[in-house]
Amino acid sequence: MIKKIIFSVLVLHISAVLGNGICNDCMDYTKCKAAFDLVTLNRDDKTKQLFSKAFCGTGYENGERLYKVCCSVFTPLNTMPSLDSRSGISKDHLLPEMCGSILGNRIFGGKYAKLYEFPWMALISYNKRYGPQFECAGTIINSKYILTAAHCVVNKNIRDVRIGDFDVSSEMDCEYEAGVYPTCENRTQNMRVEMAIPHSEYRRMPPTNDIALLRMQGEMDFSHSNVEPICLPITPELQNTVLDFKTGTVAGWGVTETGIEATKLMKVDFPVKSNSDCKMYYRNMINQRFNETMKNQFCGGEFGKDSCNGDSGGPFMIKGIYNDVSRYVQYGIVSFGPRRCGSDRPGFYTDVTKYINWILDNITD
């Protein structure tokens, strides 16, 4: 559990601080945004000392132990102004007009994506004991931000983000078609992360508010065909789209039916299930009653077709009309699913339409 992991990492010396944590804002640290952001992004000795100073007790909720802190002890890390839903000033201009391009008749069946088909795909690399490793995906939404899942960010040691890649096993990505010269691409961009912004009310179990942003150091170069942002459902028409039974696409480098990770970008098309079906599967998979959680999620998949390990944080995309042109629009973020990929149980996705204001509130120039 996230709370237990963070607690052990911080090594709070409870006996040393009992009786010192007297305040008017003692709360579970995950509900204090400044504390949650700090422990998510920085777990050094200074953070441990600050948590020890702020510790004000423990409690229990739904059988899970809570570790409480005086929230006023922490200084907010994210001081960027949130200008959209809170001030009424539009930030739509921060999302690009050119996005989600469709290659038309170049797309033809198959499980492998085409070179340049999904240029908004990003690979998130983590520092591991045996070297860097890709474990999550994300999508480019503008020249500074990657959209991904919160579980790909919280308690993770992110190394960098790679954009523009297609086959992670090769420096030169080539696509061959009969009778023509191969199309090849070798330009990738590795971007350092300036700030990770998980949703402040993210919960691992049951999965809730599984969405996050990564702000890059510097700006992504959109001058190459293999790097482009995806469109988000920012208009009322797109946000009000009923997803039940609509067919969409998930792309990623996750585990395949062979049980190994793909080196080339793969894609799969499948329909969204009805909300009533999702509720039933949710109860069976999570072993909890349906609650507010499912209002911000949807599910989809067919036998042998779904997202899988390593696809986490990647997009569920549907073709829609954006600025009067048919483009790919991201409606979902790969969140969680059954332990056995491709089973008759669906995968679950964070519903992006429910978080447009949150996204706009947390991006800046």
Residues 54 and 187 in one domain: no
Structural domain span for residue 261: 93-361
pLDDT for 12 beyond 60? no
The domain total for the chain is 2
* Active-site pick, 151, 173, 200, 351: 151
Nearest to 330 by CA among 219, 243, 200: 243
Is residue 83 one of the residues assigned to a domain? no
Residues 116 and 8 in one domain: no
Mean pLDDT, rounded, for 26-51 = 75
Residues 100 and 65 in one domain: no
Residues 315 and 244 in one domain: yes
Residues 52 and 99 in one domain: no
Measured between alpha carbons, how far is 264 from 173 in angstroms, rounded to an integer?
9
* Angle separating helix axes 2-10 and 33-41, nearest 10 degrees: 70
Measured between alpha carbons, how far is 197 from 40 in angstroms, rounded to an integer?
9
Is residue 333 one of the residues assigned to a domain? yes
Residues 267 and 346 in one domain: yes
Is residue 84 one of the residues assigned to a domain? no
Q: What is the pLDDT of residue 17?
A: 41
Residues 6+ apart with CB under 8 A from 51: 10, 12, 29, 35, 39, 69
Mean pLDDT, rounded, for 164-172 = 91
Of residues 361 and 295, more confidence is placed in 361
* Active-site pick, 165, 210, 306, 311: 210
The question of whether 167 is a catalytic residue gets the answer: no
pLDDT for 106 beyond 60? no
Which residues face 185 on adjacent strands?
A: 173
Is residue 42 one of the residues assigned to a domain? yes
pLDDT mean across residues, the chain: 79
Residues 307 and 239 in one domain: yes
Q: What is the pLDDT of residue 131?
A: 87
Residues 20 and 128 in one domain: no
Range among 64-68, 72-76, 272-276, 331-335 rated most confident: 331-335
Q: What is the pLDDT of residue 307?
A: 52
The question of whether 93 is a catalytic residue gets the answer: no
Residues 224 and 324 in one domain: yes
Residues 188 and 275 in one domain: yes
Mean pLDDT, rounded, for 184-192 = 94
Nearest to 166 by CA among 145, 142, 187: 187
The question of whether 224 is a catalytic residue gets the answer: no
* Active-site pick, 306, 312, 335, 361: 312
pLDDT band at 112 (very low <50, low <70, confident <90, very high): confident
Is residue 282 one of the residues assigned to a domain? yes
Residues 213 and 265 in one domain: yes
Is residue 88 one of the residues assigned to a domain? no
Q: What is the pLDDT of residues 318-337, one digit of tens each?
A: 999 898 888 999 999 998 86
Mean pLDDT, rounded, for 52-70 = 77
Residues 184 and 44 in one domain: no
